[in-house]
Structure 1
């Protein structure tokens, strides 16, 4: 299993770095990137502080894709994983699994969902905040969790059905926070959203 996770991580990082995403740090995206590196590791460390079993997990990957774009979000999530490994007590294989299924896969699915919404739905601020921020996050997190559970079948003695129910419920917590922050940033700090464009989403409809 860890070989698959390592392969996914390496391929994604190489694909992201080929775009040279660090160039985006010269603009307003430096602030949200630093904030993510400072805050997100503590949310990822939370499962280590909770009782064993299906621990509560906040991803933040979908929000980072909205804020930074996928090429910059992936290395940022990798840096978060390194900090989790350095500050926590889990071995690197466990942190690699967390990076893959809590960070990389949801981020990639969020990118795909965003592309579908941009391709097939009109450019509306509510579609951006509710579609990409809220519903898109829920779908991305649940799909990532379902893939993980489908591969492992059991986690901590929990049946597959119960594990999927738990994944579904946890996905909505992440979705609520992502949708909330997306709406706030659209209103007050659109420069922190690499995937937002005033010209696209606020222009008057063509007559």
Structure 2
């Protein structure tokens, strides 16, 4: 529990240093309009706070043989950015604990770190590497960041959590790794599909997306 507390406090401190609340502040409308416009990120933020706690709390609300939860943390990072995703995931874990007190404080903290903060941080680092070393293209964004990045981030974070002692009850290590691998693919497929939908129909809901970077073809000077 000490390790999870340190990781959570460190992630929260770093995120607050980035002042993520600025992303939700009002801004002036286009064309010099003085009327403030509410940030479009409020919609995905509220959706995450309403839906994700139920998903995280679901295994504790029912007797399930495998206590596996859908993470969705990489999707939250794609929608809100890492600095804003950290306090939001903290709020999600608190709401999930309120919905299912049977989770217990220790399990809730482990869920926050290994199911939320760790895959979110790994997804952020993966996204930075993809943006730095891969060509900028909409399909690269969807496939590498939305799909593959989610699979790798969720699976690696779950393995780290298992190494830290958060094991599945009555399940051996080999079966546990297999179950976590399959859940990571489920997470990746869902995140990849939603990323494709949002990029096409609601790009303003994704803080990590930029038309100028991923849609405008690179300029090659003549001569």
Are residues 154 and 100 of structure 1, via their aligned partners in 2, closer, same or farther at CA, if it must alter by over 3 Å? closer
Q: Quick check: 1:24–1:30 contact (8 Å CA) kept in 2?
A: no
Hey, what's the Cα distance between the residues in 2 that align with 1:48 and 1:102?
15
- Residue 9 of structure 1 is matched in structure 2 by 8
Runs (5+) with no aligned partner, structure 1: none
Q: TM-score, normalised by structure 2?
A: 0.89
Q: Which aligned runs of 4 or more in structure 1 are off by greater than 6 angstroms?
A: none
| TM-align CA RMSD | 1.3
- Residue 147 of structure 1 is matched in structure 2 by 160
- Residue 34 of structure 2 is matched in structure 1 by none
CA offsets 1:66-108 (integer angstroms, 9 cap, x no match): 0100000000000011111112122111111100111000000
**Structure 1 residue corresponding to 2:50, chosen from 26, 33, 38:** 38
1:154 positional shift:
4.7
Residue correspondences, number:
206
Hey, what's the Cα distance between the residues in 1 that align with 2:108 and 2:162?
17
SS in structure 2 at match of 1:103: helix
- Residue 32 of structure 2 is matched in structure 1 by none
Hey, what's the Cα distance between the residues in 1 that align with 2:87 and 2:166?
29
Q: TM-score, normalised by structure 1?
A: 0.95
Runs (5+) with no aligned partner, structure 2: 26-38
Structure showing greater radius of gyration is 2
Hey, what's the Cα distance between the residues in 2 that align with 1:153 and 1:68?
27
